[in-house]
Structure 1
């Protein structure tokens, strides 16, 4: 499933790039998911992704899949991937409740209750879904309404005096170069693709 083959169609990848011998290994305590009620000592649960979710195009994992997960903190700034409730302070013990820096005592205790009789911690990650650039209505083509929407979102260049950042809505469909403004560079990008997006 994860090994490189001659034909890698269908191959999966660990988005936190953390291969190894996870069982009873404290180096991996931040990615252990088993067993919150008895002893956190193994990574039984994980999310694997296809190459399409780590290629920087379209929908993508929010994180840096070439960088291994931190061995010093659960709050790894390079990854959105998390083992919910595991703050790394409970290696080979039940999950920490009092003082749990990830979820606090109430949620940590609820995770223990849900794991009685051999349960595991949930794992999650965040994905970025691309906006409909140049298509304010997300209807599949650019038209005069999209042109007007872009014009309404124009903020000018970021360095301009009195600059006001665009709204999230405007940035989502009109900030083509993702530089935090909607200016003539973005207008030119819209113009260049306008004909291609016609019905």
Structure 2
């Protein structure tokens, strides 16, 4: 019965009224550590579910994804734990060749909340080692036909390891990207998320990305420029390694490097009301900036703090040798999510983005012969509400987790309504 309900809910064609005022868009980049082929820790997907459920990203950018099956598993976790509206770009195998015959199985991809973003196009930038993947996104706004708000998201994974030869390969990869970006309009809004494997900002590859003479120039939103590797002065932006124990896959050096970044163009750092970076939202997710964490495992007591609990840090430890990087963008445009609030007898009071109280207006002509039933994204009943003849209902739903929910009445011909709990 639950499966049937799930399919029925997900099959409904739903539209929504506009979500007004300022809207924050949460972005996360994550090195997935050879997912799903790396299986030293079983059922890692469950740990990813903990991470995504906690952060609730709107745009999820990844590298070290092995295959389309793994991508499908991630999409299912996002749909179950964040929003049923999540979609993914078309999975594409790497076209660059680092070991002959296209044997590289480390792919990049994005997943996005389709109620907030529309994927306009995607392209591959081939390099000497691994591809860059370029995705053009448009905000799903109410007036997108007349005033489209677009930006470009690029995902990358530069050559790993220290030494002049590897630095030169990283530089050559970045040069290929810069040549590609020369074809962009100079005022393009661009973010690039990736595992850059830079040990210092003085590396030629980093210098090339941030060169003021380029058509597209990237900036570090937190302006933590320097020699990051094994330098505890930059512990607040460290992302690797989450582990010291061997045999789990990935690096084992302990917490001592900043390899993962989200960089942005300068026009996103400006106060553009249509789309801009939200100050102080750039984080190395899971990093409590605890000085005792230097060269330790991320789930140890040495890495404790008020921002990220042990449960979160343990999930991060289990899933990857990297931490994700996150930031938020903001728009003042009215987003138009895929939902229908019809004048069919039940209406949301104050819109369908709910905090702790679900407020409903009931048409007096509507006869409610059975309770209003609330389902989660898995089609499971989580709440049953009795109207008791009232034309106004205020129901406490503070016990429900943030996410997407649906409500309907089985005994009436009522369209399924969808709301988002967010507080």
State the TM-score, normalized to the length of structure 2: 0.26
Question: What number of residue pairs does the alignment pair up?
Answer: 117
Matched, 1:88 2:289: yes
> Shift of the alpha carbon at 1:56?
1.3
Question: Structure 1 stretches (4+) deviating beyond 3 angstroms?
Answer: 96-100
Verify the 8 A CA contact 2:210 2:219 in the aligned structure 1.
Answer: yes
1:46-81, Cα deviation, whole Å (9 max, x unpaired): 100012211211201011xxxxxxxxxxxxxxx111
Verify the 8 A CA contact 1:41 1:91 in the aligned structure 2.
Answer: yes
In angstroms, what is the RMSD of aligned CA positions? 2.3
**3-state SS of 1:48 partner:** strand
Which segments of 5 or more consecutive residues in structure 1 lack a partner in the other structure? 64-78, 138-166, 169-199
Verify the 8 A CA contact 1:100 1:108 in the aligned structure 2.
Answer: no
Partner of 1:62: 278
When you count helix as a share of all residues, which structure comes out higher?
1
Verify the 8 A CA contact 2:275 2:332 in the aligned structure 1.
Answer: yes
- Tell me, in whole angstroms, the C-alpha distance in 2 between the residues paired with 1:97 and 1:105: 8
State the TM-score, normalized to the length of structure 1: 0.54
Matched, 1:103 2:308: yes
When you count strand as a share of all residues, which structure comes out higher?
2
Q: How does 1:39-58 map to 2 (within 5 A)?
A: 39-57=254-272, 58=274
- Tell me, in whole angstroms, the C-alpha distance in 1 between the residues paired with 2:210 and 2:275: 20
Matched, 1:122 2:324: yes
Verify the 8 A CA contact 2:222 2:282 in the aligned structure 1.
Answer: yes
Which segments of 5 or more consecutive residues in structure 2 lack a partner in the other structure? 1-208, 245-253, 337-349, 352-423
> Shift of the alpha carbon at 1:18?
0.9
Residue 217 (structure 2) aligned to one of 1, 8, 11: 11
- Tell me, in whole angstroms, the C-alpha distance in 2 between the residues paired with 1:105 and 1:24: 24
**3-state SS of 1:112 partner:** helix
Verify the 8 A CA contact 1:25 1:41 in the aligned structure 2.
Answer: yes
- Tell me, in whole angstroms, the C-alpha distance in 1 between the residues paired with 2:330 and 2:300: 31
- Tell me, in whole angstroms, the C-alpha distance in 1 between the residues paired with 2:255 and 2:224: 17
